C-alpha cells in the first residue's frame, strides 16, 4: 500500500503521563495493581496468539506476558513498579526474546523494575502499608487470588478497571493516529473485496482476501472475527461461519476491521455479489445510507448516544413505511416495538483498544455520558429482513444491510474517520 506517512507510535512519555493521571485518581495510601493478560491455551502444547490486556496495555504499552504494573500512592506522591519476565536463554529459544529487567528499566519511565517472581513478595510488603487495594474485579488469575486473600481483612477494595476504562473514553492525538492507520488498512481491504466479489465464489475466499490485506500491512489480523454474510445470512447478526457460496443477485454484508498496534477499526459495507444492486436492494440500501449520513451529521459534543439511537429508529421506521415494509403511523409502530424485528441493535459503541471499547456509557451516578471531544464511536444502522418474512413485499425478503463508519467527536462536530471507504451505490458499483 502506498502510505507515505510514518507509522504512528505512542511514546513512553504518554504512557507515563497516563500513569500519573491515574495515580491522581487513587485515594491516598493506595496500591493499584494491574496484571498482564493470561496466555490462552488452545490445545496440548499450543496457545492462541498472545494479546495483552487492553487496560494493562493502556498504562504501559508493554506486550509481554507474565508482567504486572503496580502504582503505590501515599498521601500525595506516588511510585510506579513494573514486573517483567526474567531473561532465560532456554525459554527464549522456544518463545522468543524477552525484554528483561535491565532493558525495561531503560525503556520505561517507571521508578522500579523487578522480575515477576518477586511480584507476590513485593506487593505483599507494599500492601501492608496501604489502606486501599485497587485491582481488576473481572480478572481471575492465581497471581491475584493469593494477594486478594491476604488483603481481605485489611483494606478497602476498588475496581482498578473502572478507573482505566474511564480514562480510555477520550482518545489522545496519538491514539487517533493509530485508529486512523487501522482504518486506512481496513479501507484497502474493503475496496479489495468490492473489486473481487464478482470473481470469487465463496464467502471464505472473500474473508481470506480481506484478512490478507490486514496481515500484509502489519495489522494483528482482525479486531473481531470478520463477518462475510451473503444473502439471508446477513440477517444473522453475528454470522461468522462465512462458508456459503456467493450467489449472483445477492448482497454481501461485510463487517470487518483490522487491529493495528492494539487499536481497532470496525467497518461494515454491504455490496452486491455481482457488482450491481437490484432495484429493490438499491431502494433499501439508499434509505439506510441516508439514515446513516443523517445520524453521523448529528454527532457533536454534548449529544447523547440514546438520542442518536432514537432518531435512527424514527428515520428507519419512516423509511420502512415509505417502502411498504411496515404499515401505519411511525409513532405508534415505534411504541409497539414493531421496528425491533428489523433493527434489533444499537446505533453504535465506543471504539479504541477494543472494538467495543471497554469504557462506560454511564457516569458514577448512572447518568448517560454525553459525547465529548476525542471520543470515537461507531455509527451503524442496519435493516434485516428474513427470507421467510411473509409480512414484507417479496422483493425485499432475504436482504440484510448494515453500513458502519467510525466517527471521532470534534469540538465543532465530528470527523468521519472512515469517510474514504466507498459507500455510495455508484462508487461501489464502479469498483
Ligand atoms: N463488528 C462488531 C460491531 O459492529 O459491533
Ligand atoms: Mn460496530
Ligand atoms: Mn462492525
Q: Is 384 a catalytic residue?
A: yes
For 323-367, what is each residue's pLDDT tens digit?
999 999 999 999 999 999 999 999 999 999 999 998 999 999 999
What pTM was computed for the model? 0.96
The total of other beta-carbon atoms located within 10 Å of residue 254's CB is 28
For 58-110, what is each residue's pLDDT tens digit?
999 999 999 999 999 999 999 999 999 999 999 989 888 999 999 999 999 99
Between CA 412 and CA 300 the distance in angstroms is 7
Give the distance (Å) from ligand 2 centre to CA of residue 350: 9
Question: If you take atom 5 of ligand 1, which residue's CA is the nearest one?
Answer: 356
For 364-382, what is each residue's pLDDT tens digit?
999 999 999 999 999 999 9
Q: Is 260 a catalytic residue?
A: no
> What CATH number does domain 173-430 carry, 3.10.450.240, 3.90.180.10, 3.90.230.10, 3.40.50.150?
3.90.230.10
119-125 mean pLDDT:
96
In this prediction, residue 293 has a pLDDT band, given cuts at 50, 70 and 90, of very high
148-163 mean pLDDT:
89
257-276 mean pLDDT:
97
pLDDT of residue 6: 66
301-304 LR contacts (CB < 8 Å, sep 24+): 301/370, 301/371, 301/372, 301/373, 301/409, 301/410, 301/411, 302/370, 302/371, 303/370, 303/371, 304/368, 304/370, 304/371
* Residues at CB less than 6 angstroms from ligand 1: 224, 255, 266, 349, 355, 380, 404
Q: In the predicted model, what is the mean pLDDT of the chain? A: 95
Between CA 361 and CA 375 the distance in angstroms is 12
One-letter-per-residue 3-state SS of 133-151: EEECCCCCCHHHHHHHHHH
Give the distance (Å) from ligand 1 centre to CA of residue 227: 9
| Ligand 1 atom index nearest CA of 224 | 1
147 or 348, higher pLDDT: 348
Question: If you take atom 4 of ligand 1, which residue's CA is the nearest one?
Answer: 266
Q: Is 12 a catalytic residue?
A: no
Q: With contact defined as beta carbons under 8 Å apart, do 46 and 219 qualify?
A: no
Q: With contact defined as beta carbons under 8 Å apart, do 242 and 227 qualify?
A: yes
Q: List CB-based neighbours of ion ligand 3 within 5 Å.
A: 255, 266, 268, 404
Best CA proximity match to 287, nearest among 402, 405, 418: 402
**Domain 12-167 classified CATH 3.40.350.10?**
yes
pLDDT of residue 4: 45
Give the distance (Å) from ligand 3 centre to CA of residue 252: 14
Any idea where the domains of the chain sit in the sequence? Answer: 12-167, 173-430
Catalytic one among 404, 405, 406, 414?
A: 404
pLDDT of residue 153: 76
Amino acid at each position: 500500500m502506498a502510505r507515505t506517512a510514518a507509522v504512528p507510535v505512542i511514546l513512553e512519555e504518554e504512557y507515563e503521563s497516563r500513569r500519573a493521571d491515574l495515580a491522581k485518581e487513587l485515594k491516598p495510601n493506595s496500591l493499584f495493581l494491574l496484571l498482564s493478560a493470561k496466555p490462552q491455551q488452545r490445545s496440548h502444547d499450543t496457545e492462541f496468539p498472545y494479546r495483552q490486556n487492553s487496560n494493562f496495555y493502556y498504562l504501559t504499552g508493554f506486550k509481554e506476558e507474565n508482567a504486572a504494573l503496580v502504582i503505590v500512592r501515599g498521601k500525595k506522591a506516588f511510585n510506579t513498579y513494573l514486573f517483567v519476565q526474567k531473561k532465560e536463554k532456554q525459554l527464549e529459544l522456544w518463545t522468543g526474546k524477552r525484554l528483561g529487567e535491565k532493558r525495561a528499566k531503560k525503556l520505561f519511565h517507571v521508578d522500579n523494575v523487578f522480575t515477576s517472581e518477586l511480584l507476590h513478595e513485593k506487593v505483599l510488603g507494599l500492601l501492608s502499608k496501604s489502606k486501599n487495594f485497587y485491582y481488576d474485579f473481572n480478572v481471575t488469575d492465581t497471581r491475584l487470588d493469593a494477594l486478594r486473600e491476604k488483603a481481605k481483612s485489611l483494606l478497602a477494595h476498588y475496581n482498578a478497571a473502572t478507573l482505566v476504562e474511564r480514562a480510555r473514553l477520550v482518545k489522545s492525538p496519538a491514539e487517533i493516529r493509530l485508529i486512523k492507520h487501522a482504518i486506512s488498512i481496513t479501507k484497502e481491504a474493503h475496496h479489495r473485496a468490492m473489486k473481487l466479489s464478482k470473481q470469487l465464489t465463496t464467502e471464505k475466499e472473500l474473508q481470506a482476501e480481506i484478512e490478507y490485506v490486514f496481515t500484509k500491512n502489519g495489522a494483528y489480523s482482525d479486531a473481531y472475527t470478520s463477518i462475510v454474510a451473503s444473502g439471508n445470512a446477513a440477517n444473522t447478526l453475528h454470522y461468522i461461519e462465512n462458508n456459503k457460496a456467493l450467489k449472483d443477485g445477492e448482497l454481501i454484508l461485510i463487517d470487518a476491521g483490522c487491529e493495528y498496534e492494539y487499536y481497532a477499526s470496525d467497518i461494515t459495507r454491504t455490496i452486491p455479489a455481482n457488482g450491481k444492486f437490484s432495484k429493490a436492494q438499491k431502494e433499501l440500501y439508499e434509505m439506510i445510507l441516508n439514515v446513516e449520513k443523517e445520524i453521523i451529521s448529528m454527532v457533536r459534543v454534548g449529544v447523547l448516544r440514546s438520542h442518536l439511537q432514537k432518531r435512527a429508529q424514527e428515520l428507519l421506521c419512516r423509511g420502512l413505511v415509505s417502502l411498504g415494509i411496515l404499515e401505519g403511523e411511525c409513532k405508534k409502530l415505534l411504541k409497539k416495538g414493531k421496528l425491533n424485528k428489523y433493527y434489533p441493535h444499537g446505533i453504535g459503541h465506543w471504539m479504541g483498544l477494543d472494538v467495543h471499547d471497554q469504557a462506560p456509557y454511564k457516569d458514577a451516578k448512572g447518568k448517560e455520558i454525553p459525547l465529548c471531544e476525542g471520543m470515537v464511536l461507531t455509527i451503524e444502522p442496519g435493516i434485516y429482513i428474513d427470507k421467510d418474512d411473509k409480512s414484507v413485499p417479496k422483493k425485499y425478503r432475504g436482504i440484510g444491510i448494515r453500513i458502519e463508519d467510525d466517527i471521532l467527536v470534534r469540538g465543532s462536530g465530528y470527523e468521519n474517520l472512515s469517510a474514504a471507504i466507498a459507500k455510495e451505490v455508484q462508487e461501489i458499483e464502479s469498483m
